Structure formats: C-alpha cells, structure tokens
Amino acid sequence: MKKKMTLLSPTAILGYGFPESSFTRGLSFDPHLIAVDAGSTDPGPYYLGSGKSFVPRGAVKRDLSFLLRAAVERRIPLLIGSAGGSGAKPHLAWCREIIWEVAREEKLSFRLAVIPADIRKSFLLEEMAAGKVEPLGPVPALTEDNVVESTYLAAQMGPEPLIRALEGGADVVLAGRCYDPAVFAALPLRRGFPAGLSLHLGKILECAAIAALPGSGSDCMLGFLEEERFYLEPASPERRATVDSVAAHTLYEKGDPYRLPGPGGLLDLQETSFEQVSERRVGISGSRFFPTSPYTVKVEGARLIGYRVITVAGARDPRFIESLDEIIDGVRKRTADNFSGDAGRFELTFHLYGRDGVMGPQEPHPRPAHEVGIVIEAVAEEAALAEAVLGFARSTMLHYGFPGRLATAGNLAFPYSPSDFKVGGAYVFSVYHLLTVENPAELFPITYEEVR
C-alpha cells in the first residue's frame, strides 16, 4: 500500500490569523501534521537586532489557542519554526511563554521540545578563523567587528533537528530560526517520503493560502503528499488552487527559478510539472533534492547603527514638485553645514512617494503625480542628534525658497501633530553568511519539557 500523508498549514505567519471555519474544515481531513512558520527576515533587521517580535502577542496567542487545542486533543504533531519572528533567544523565550500560558488556560498536557538556534560569538569567530564561514550572495566577507557588534546571532536549522525532536517523543516542537519548509518536511522525511517532494510542498505550505486564488496569508492550505507527487488545496471553499497560482508561488523568493539552495542541499525544479486535477486542487510531481557537501547553514545577525526619527509630509504645489531634486539638494547642504561638527555621525534620507518612493533610482518611470508624499528620515549615533537633524531638515524644507514660488506659508502639509516620530533603534544585517558544519544537528540542542 502506498504511503500518504496530509499536512495542514493554518496561516503564513503565526499570528497572522485564519478563519475558524477554514481551520475546522482543514481538521476534517484528519491531518497527520499541523505546522506553521512563525518568522522571516522580510521585515528587516530591526526585529532580530532588538529581540522583538513583528507580530503582536495577542495575535500569536489567539492562533496558538486553536493550534495547541487541536493538536493535543487529536494527537497531531504541531511544529513551529522561527519562533517569535526571528528565532533568536528572546524570540524563542517569548513564544515559549505564550505556549505555557495557553496550556494552563486550556488545561492541556503534552511533551514540548524547544530547539534554540543561537550561535555564540566566540564560536563563530573560531569557525571564521578556521575558514568555515563564507558570504551568502553579494555580501562582504565576515569581520570580527561584524560578529562582536551583533546583538544576536541565529543559525537557520534544516529539518534534521526537528526530526530528532519528533523521535524524542515531542508532541509540540518549538524551534528557533528555521529554514521555512523544514517544519513541514520533517515528519514526511522521517516517514521516508522523497526529499524533493517534501521540501517543495513545505516551500508552498509555509505561506499557507497565498498560493491560492484569491491569495491570502491569513487562511489555511492543505497538502496531500504521496510517494510520487503531492496535491494542494485551500481549506476554504471560497479559494482554489490553480496551476498558475501554485507555479507562480513556486517562483517566490528565488534568484533562480529552477534551483533553491537550503541547508544541506539543493531543491531542483527543472523537471517539476503542475496539473489541474480538479477545480480547487493542483497536483505537483518531478521535484528533486540533491544533497551538497559540505553541509552549510545560514547564520544571521544584526547590529545597532544608531537611532531613527522620521517625519511624514505631503506636497501638491506643481512648482515645488518640479524643483524637488534641487530643493532636496539644498536642504542636504544646509543641514550638513549646520551640523558640520557632527559630520559622519548622521545620515539624512528623503523618500518621495508618488515619484520613486518604492524603487528609488531603479524606478523606470519617475514621473511625478500631481502630489507627492515625502518621508524625511534621520539616523544618527545618538537619539538627540537624530532628532535635531530631522527637525532642522524638516523646517528647512518647509520654508525653502525655490524659483517660481508663490506662497510663503510653507511648502509641506503635515498629517500629524507632532510631525516627528521617534522610531527608536536602527539596525542593519551584520551577519548573513554560510557556516560549514559536520553534523546538521550539532548547533541545535533540544530540551524537552513536560507541559502539565
């Protein structure tokens, strides 16, 4: 008898939510696994650097209440990856606390496996000196300062530590930073399903119903895995999976449309085929996985570069809009002159929405609309300096004289009072490198907790 497995992905990110009706319908298919990706680097380096989640606590607790109750009552393994958004120590502790809180309130008992993904700075420096660290993509070689200045360092685990946790009897697995498909692929791999199909299915399920029509990151998706193919179907009857929607999502977040590198190998899609098997279901076959040697994992880190303050303004005067580049250049020069004693300690940026605010200099058609939104941003080593630079640049632009100016009341319209917003710490990615390891699970120790 051929092996089959049903997987339920409730939402694209833990805390993004899902309709209760969709989740209930998903459970009616008797899934063998519930898995959810809880994080990403997509929101930028702030959340890793600051140790904070980009999803509100209440939203995560709401989702976990449904997931834990269903998993425990139905004895379905529940796997959570990249806990707390970025998967470092504070994120993992934050999500673990919510799990225990839900368990107490719902009176649930289960075996919890917690898998941290943190890397010690001293260890990474030793590995760097031994030649075991290399850049991932077009990033500079790692330096000692990059490592030392990072607030947190997290390695992206593959499915191997998750498999070990399941073999250790875990009912619920809470993992730190994790390769997105790994939480979906771990149980299929443990049961002997092909790695190519398991990882490709996980790659799509990690975004839940985004691969459906209409797409949504806040709805459930089902995966039906067999030995030679898998199928995708949204849990909600209001959505459908199509060849176009699933194939398009397969291209998601890939520099190469046919090859997707990950921990320990390469997912090859050159022979993948897609078939519309019903109005709402798509079948996929032909995906392959090729192990690579040595085994590498991605290490992520972020460092504080200063403090950010912004202001949001709008302009509608056609003469002002026509002279924007000259005005911005003049404001920059006036600000640099006024803060000449702090040269090199701050950065001033202008984002022009309505012209090229999204793509900047890569915008192919920078034609201004009849109005523009302007975000002025100052980042400086000290918060007080950032506030001073932003305030000066804002007031200078507000009253800046330009050719053809008719009114002197002010060039900008501010939607808020106060006009300036203290964003807080500003971070950049400082580590985005590959680390060679001997054992895929050696960096990820597992702790088991009996939740009662």
Tens of pLDDT, residue by residue over 55-84, are 999 999 999 999 999 999 999 999 999 999
Query: Does the predicted model carry a pTM greater than 0.85?
Result: yes
What is the identity of the amino acid at 243?
A: V
Res. 1: pLDDT tops 80 = no
Please report, for the chain, how many H helices and E strands are present, in that order.
13, 19
Residue 271 sits at φ, ψ, to 5 deg, of -110, 15
Alpha helices in 296-425 (DSSP H): 318-322, 324-338, 383-398
Terminal CA-CA length for the chain: 38
Give the contacts of 374 (CB within 8 A, at least 6 positions apart): 312, 313, 314, 315, 350, 351, 352, 353, 397, 412
Supply the pLDDT for residue 252.
80
Supply the pLDDT for residue 304.
98
Supply the pLDDT for residue 28.
98
User: What tokens does 435 get?
Assistant: 């680390």
pLDDT-based confidence at 406, cuts 50/70/90? Answer: confident
Supply the pLDDT for residue 294.
95
Pairing relationship of beta strands 420-437 and 133-135 according to DSSP bridges: antiparallel
- Alpha-carbon distance of 266 to 288, in angstroms, equals 8
Res. 144: pLDDT tops 80 = yes
Averaged pLDDT score across all residues of the chain: 96
Beta carbons of 172 and 111 less than 8 angstroms apart? yes
- For residues 147-180, b (16+ Cβ closer than 10 Å) or e, as one string? bebbbbbbbbbbbbbbbbbbeeebbbbbbbbbbb
- Alpha-carbon distance of 58 to 37, in angstroms, equals 17
Beta carbons of 181 and 165 less than 8 angstroms apart? no
pLDDT-based confidence at 255, cuts 50/70/90? Answer: confident
Supply the pLDDT for residue 324.
95
- Alpha-carbon distance of 112 to 447, in angstroms, equals 8
pLDDT-based confidence at 334, cuts 50/70/90? Answer: very high
pLDDT-based confidence at 137, cuts 50/70/90? Answer: confident
Pairing relationship of beta strands 78-81 and 33-37 according to DSSP bridges: parallel
Res. 254: pLDDT tops 90 = no
